[in-house]
Structure 1
Amino acid sequence: MFKKDGYEPTTMEAVAEAAEISPSTLYRYFPTKDSIVLSSFMGNTAKFAEVFALRVKDLPVERALGEAIFAVLAVEDEDPERALLVRSILGQSPVARARLWDYMGEQQLQLRTQLSECLGKKEDDPAVNLTARIALEVLLAAADIWRAQKGSVSSRETAENLMRLLRSGGVVYPDAG
């Protein structure tokens, strides 16, 4: 419905009617319209923590982070039309975007906890914090680049290129002097 009728004009009541459920049932599962949009996004990004936890048992931390990024981005490559629609809606809706940033903040905290355990450092260690932020930024940047290119290049390939840039020194970092 969001694709056909547009995000803003589509009402929760219309969604309930199309789903053949009562509005109260829809509101029980999705209290807001943006929660419908974010549910698939949040379900997908929840894979990050799961994949990282599994892969870090067998791989170095940096490879496990890469595998977790690839797992999240795989959805974009598998169903680009849906992913582009969700990203378009997020770009149009300040409320959905704000909820997304809150959620990504939670994901960052979860990743910091996982990294601190793997690296044997405290969660508030600057290296743990920066590692978590960089990993999630690679994920977000790859998704943004993928969307800007309208899915014409694989999001995994984009993320791989970003990771190579980081490893090769192709990125300029701030210098305290």
Structure 2
Amino acid sequence: MRERKAQRSRERMISEAMGLFAGKGYEETTMEAIAEAADVSPSTLYRYFPSKDLIVLASFTGNTAKFAEVFALRVKDLSVERALAEAIFAVLAVEDEEPRHALLVRSILGQSPVARARLWDYLGEQQRQLSKQLAESLQKAGDDPIVLLTARVALEVLLAAADIWRASKGRTSSRATAGALMQLLRGGNVLFPDPGPESSTQEAAPKATARKALTRKQ
């Protein structure tokens, strides 16, 4: 009961804060005004959210947390590739369902350096969590380049789709955009850095040197 009550209070504070941010502006809204609108004391608000940027970030992370949850659920029955796609779609769904709220959150994140810095810290943690899940699903080491690059590419698809959606001011479907980006990747239409043929020669050189050294010892 206490946990549910605390969660409802938390959601009310976030909702009232976002309403004030939309009406008065992010910088103009004070923590005291948020506490009054949410019908809580300033000390209670500060206990939940020590700063305004954490309120904005909570609104964002509450949705993106679905990524790990959906992937963990879907990968039990689907391929890793499909599970990743379903997780991306789940996170982007809120942008299509609640475009005004999502645009406001992204606008504030774009304006506030502090909130944006916290966001990148959060996304870094999300990438580490996804890498761990992928390592378990693929039965590879957590620091395997395939695991690390797959996690980063999946999150980049998510972020790119969200950026395109925001640039269109919500006029496009973020889910459809993400699907199109995935098709570009799978169709081989995205350009990747080319190390050139000399890279394979450089990799082979140490092995050849080692073989010569071994031959001399023998």
Alpha-carbon deviation of 1:112? 0.3
Verify: 1:11 aligned to 2:67, yes or no: no
| Separation of aligned partners in 2, 1:170 and 1:146 | 21
* Number of aligned residue pairs: 177
Matches within 5 A, 1:34-73: 34-73=53-92
Which residue of 1 is the match for residue 211 of structure 2? none
Verify: 1:175 aligned to 2:200, yes or no: no
Letter in 2 for 1:3: A
Match of 2:141 among 117, 122, 129: 122
Which residue of 2 is the match for residue 76 of structure 1? 95
SS in 2 for 1:7: coil
TM-score normalised by structure 1 residue count: 0.99
SS in 1 for 2:131: helix
Percent of residue pairs bearing the same amino acid type: 77
SS in 2 for 1:131: helix
Alpha-carbon deviation of 1:29? 0.7
Matches within 5 A, 1:111-150: 111-150=130-169
Alpha-carbon deviation of 1:39? 0.8
Which residue of 2 is the match for residue 90 of structure 1? 109
| Separation of aligned partners in 2, 1:176 and 1:15 | 54
User: Which runs of 5 or more structure 2 residues have no equivalent in the other structure?
Assistant: 1-19, 197-218
Which residue of 2 is the match for residue 165 of structure 1? 184
| Separation of aligned partners in 2, 1:11 and 1:123 | 43
Alpha-carbon deviation of 1:17? 1.1
Alpha-carbon deviation of 1:9? 1.1
Please provide the CA RMSD for this pair.
Answer: 0.5
User: Which runs of 5 or more structure 1 residues have no equivalent in the other structure?
Assistant: none
Alpha-carbon deviation of 1:31? 1.1
SS in 2 for 1:124: coil
Alpha-carbon deviation of 1:73? 0.2
Letter in 1 for 2:97: E
